[in-house]
Amino acid sequence: MNELSQFPLRRMRRLRAHDFSRRLVAENQLTVDDLIYPMFVLEGSGRVEEVSSMPGVFRYSIDELVKEVKECEALGIPLIDLFPYVEADKKSLHAEEAYNPDGLIQRAIRAIKAECKTIGVMTDVALDPFTTHGQDGIIDDNGYVLNDITIEVLVRQALSHLEAGADIISPSDMMDGRILAMREAFEKAGFVNAQIMAYSAKYASCFYGPFRDAIGSSSNIKGGNKKTYQMDPANGAEALHEVGLDLQEGADMVMIKPGMPYLDLIRQTKDTFHVPTFAYQVSGEYAMQMAAIQNGWLEEKATIMESLLCFKRAGADGILTYFSKRVAKWLAEE
């Protein structure tokens, strides 16, 4: 600090006194280019179902999903992220439906790409929507998720998404070595420009509950947990190790999940690796804000915008948020 810049020579409130000067010196800004919209798709036609634990978030049949994506494209949202709601009869121990070329996600990708020419499509790669037990991988007789066998299925799932037209693959499974396996498979198959946004530091968090409702896996996991593969919330240095490994294995972008409780990891990741770094404002974060907003305890727009701006301040290049569409509308109005 400059010792000469003391009160009253330096009055910190001077630059806060007017709207124009606050705007001039703002260190970070939120734009539509920072938004990634997570979206849920289900079977059928003409179906739009609200997720009970996530007010204002819906599951869409493919025809309705395409309409929604078109609106997002018109608003300038650069990227959507697709998640499936899988019916019980399509779930299995070995998640075969995950790589079905005519599966729900694969058909949704093709439908979106046929109608929407500029918006990017990212897909979640993990097995929890497709397993009868709700875990992100193939389990042994003791319920332990088997790493290497799971990777084989994940690679098949990822390739099926690329073949359908996906732009970005986003592995959220937290298996060791899956980024390298996918990158090598993509190169071999000719998908040399396929992008990978790795869930590099995904924590075993209690903030995921509403999401499991949204994809229909909460009843499958039946009170179980994912602590043998997702990260311990107590650990920070381990997250940087995970990020470094994913980058070495071929990830183009990395993600920290959840978001707001882990702002310190976003900043540390950005400062350490200087790579595209993203945050996921997860379902529990969304649900908490919506509960307070609907009860009149917090102001809607101001609260949401502040919550997203803090990710930018922490170093995130973009945010996966269920608020994407309404924020894009607010930004367009400004």
Neighbouring residues of 259: CB distance < 8 A, sequence distance ≥ 6: 266, 279, 280, 281, 282, 285, 311, 319
Give the 3-state secondary structure of residue 199. Answer: strand
Query: Is there a catalytic annotation at residue 70?
Result: no
Distance CA 211, CA 129 (A): 11
**Cis ω before 171 (30° cut-off from 0):** no
Residues 6+ apart with CB under 8 A from 4: none
Residues 6+ apart with CB under 8 A from 158: 125, 169, 171, 182, 185, 186
From the list 91, 226, 257, 325, the catalytic residue is 257
Beta bridge partners of 59: 40, 49
Mutual angle of helices 62-75 and 324-333, in 10-degree steps: 30
Look up 301 and say whether it is catalytic.
no
Residue 192 burial by Cβ neighbours in a 10 Å radius (0-12, 13-18, 19+) = exposed
Among residues 67, 90, 91, 202, the one annotated as catalytic is 202
SS3 183: helix
- CA within 13 Å, CB half, 282: 24
Q: Are 91 and 132 in contact (CB under 8 A)?
A: yes
**Residue 36: beta bridge partners?**
79, 320
Which single residue is written with the structure tokens 């350490």? 272
Active-site residue numbers?
202, 257
